[in-house]
Amino acid sequence: MRNERQPPEGVQRETTRMEIFSDGVFAIAITLLVLELIQFLHPRNGEGLIDSYLHHWEPFLAFLIGFLTILVCWINHHHVFTYINRIDSRLPWVNGFVLLMITFTPLPTAILAEFLKTEGKYAVAIYGMNYFLISVASYWLCAYSYRKFLIDEDKREIFRYIKRTYGYSIFYTFLAFLICFVSIPAAILLYLLLFYAFAFPKEFAGLLLKLETKRRKRYPIRKS
Amino acid sequence: MRNERQPPEGVQRETTRMEIFSDGVFAIAITLLVLELIQFLHPRNGEGLIDSYLHHWEPFLAFLIGFLTILVCWINHHHVFTYINRIDSRLPWVNGFVLLMITFTPLPTAILAEFLKTEGKYAVAIYGMNYFLISVASYWLCAYSYRKFLIDEDKREIFRYIKRTYGYSIFYTFLAFLICFVSIPAAILLYLLLFYAFAFPKEFAGLLLKLETKRRKRYPIRKS
Amino acid sequence: MRNERQPPEGVQRETTRMEIFSDGVFAIAITLLVLELIQFLHPRNGEGLIDSYLHHWEPFLAFLIGFLTILVCWINHHHVFTYINRIDSRLPWVNGFVLLMITFTPLPTAILAEFLKTEGKYAVAIYGMNYFLISVASYWLCAYSYRKFLIDEDKREIFRYIKRTYGYSIFYTFLAFLICFVSIPAAILLYLLLFYAFAFPKEFAGLLLKLETKRRKRYPIRKS
Amino acid sequence: MRNERQPPEGVQRETTRMEIFSDGVFAIAITLLVLELIQFLHPRNGEGLIDSYLHHWEPFLAFLIGFLTILVCWINHHHVFTYINRIDSRLPWVNGFVLLMITFTPLPTAILAEFLKTEGKYAVAIYGMNYFLISVASYWLCAYSYRKFLIDEDKREIFRYIKRTYGYSIFYTFLAFLICFVSIPAAILLYLLLFYAFAFPKEFAGLLLKLETKRRKRYPIRKS
Question: What is the distance in angstroms between the Cα of A40 and the nearest Cα belonging to chain C?
Answer: 10
Average pLDDT of the segment spanning B8-21: 72
> Which of C20, C92, C96 comes nearest A23 by C-beta?
C20
Residue A31 pLDDT level (bands cut at 50, 70, 90): very high
- pLDDT of the residue at D38: 84
D105 to each of A103, C32, C177, D72, how far by Cα in Å?
26, 12, 32, 13
* pLDDT surpassing 80 at residue A13: no
Nearest-CA distance from C37 to chain D in Å?
A: 7
pTM: 0.90
CB distance A92–B82 less than 8 Å? no
| A-C Cβ pairs (cutoff 8 Å, strict) | 93
Tell me the average pLDDT across B72-99.
92
**Distance (Å) from the alpha carbon of B148 to chain D's nearest alpha carbon:** 16
Of D34, D78, D203, the CB nearest to B103: D34
Q: List the chains bordering chain B where 3 or more Cβ pairs fall under 8 Å.
A: A, D
Query: Lowest-pLDDT range, A32-36, B95-99, C84-88, D27-31?
Result: C84-88
The percentage of residues in chain A with a pLDDT greater than 70, rounded to a whole number, is 88
**SS3 state of residue B137:** helix
* Mean pLDDT, chain B, integer: 85
Mutate which: B89, B98, B181, vs D, most D CBs within 10 A: B89
Cβ-Cβ contacts under 8 Å between B and D: the total is: 93
pLDDT in tens, chain C (224 residues): 333 344 445 556 667 888 889 999 999 999 999 988 887 766 555 667 777 777 778 889 899 999 999 999 999 999 999 898 888 889 999 999 999 999 999 999 988 888 888 888 889 999 999 999 999 999 999 999 999 888 888 888 889 989 999 999 999 999 999 998 998 889 889 998 999 989 998 888 888 888 888 888 887 655 44
State the pLDDT at residue A224.
47
Mean pLDDT of A134-156: 91
Task: Give the chain D residue whose CA is nearest to the CA of B10.
Answer: D1
The string over B117-150, giving b where at least 16 C-beta atoms fall within 10 Å of a residue's C-beta and e elsewhere, is eebeebbbbbbbebbbbbbbbbbbbbebbbeeeb
Contact: A10, B1; criterion CB under 8 Å: yes
D115/C200 touch (CB, cutoff 8 Å), yes or no: no
- More confident call, A40 vs B131: B131
Please tell me which residue of chain D has the smallest CA distance to C1: D10
Confidence class of residue B47 from pLDDT cuts 50, 70 and 90? low
Helix, strand, or coil (residue D217): helix
Separation CA C17–CA A82 (nearest Å): 10
C-alpha distance from residue C90 to each of A196, A203, C147, D168 (Å) = 12, 11, 12, 51
- Rounded to the nearest angstrom, the minimum Cα separation between D164 and chain C is 28
For position D70, what pLDDT does the model report? 95
Other Cβ atoms less than 10 A from the Cβ of C93: the count is 14
Residues in chain D with pLDDT values less than 70: 1-14, 41-47, 220-224
Cross-chain residue pair D24–B24, CB shorter than 8 Å = yes
Residues B94-117, mean pLDDT to the nearest whole number? 92
Average pLDDT for A22-31: 94
DSSP D154: G
HSE-CB for B219 with a 13 A CA cutoff? 5
Q: Give which of A13, A21, A87 to mutate to test B binding, by max B Cβ within 10 Å.
A: A21
Mutate to test the interface with D, among B104, B121, B122 (most CBs of D within 10 A): B104
Question: For residue range B154-208, what is the model confidence (pLDDT) as tens digits?
Answer: 888 889 989 999 999 999 999 999 998 998 889 889 998 999 989 998 888 888 8
Q: How far apart are CA A151 and CA A147, in angstroms?
A: 9
Alpha helices in chain B (DSSP H): 9-41, 49-54, 58-81, 91-104, 106-147, 156-182, 184-199, 201-218
Q: What is the mean pLDDT of chain A?
A: 85
Question: What pLDDT, on the 0 to 100 scale, is given for residue A43?
Answer: 53
Report how far residue A96's alpha carbon sits from residue A98's, in angstroms, rounded to the nearest whole number: 5
> Which candidate, D167, D154, D152, D171, places its Cα nearest to that of D208?
D167
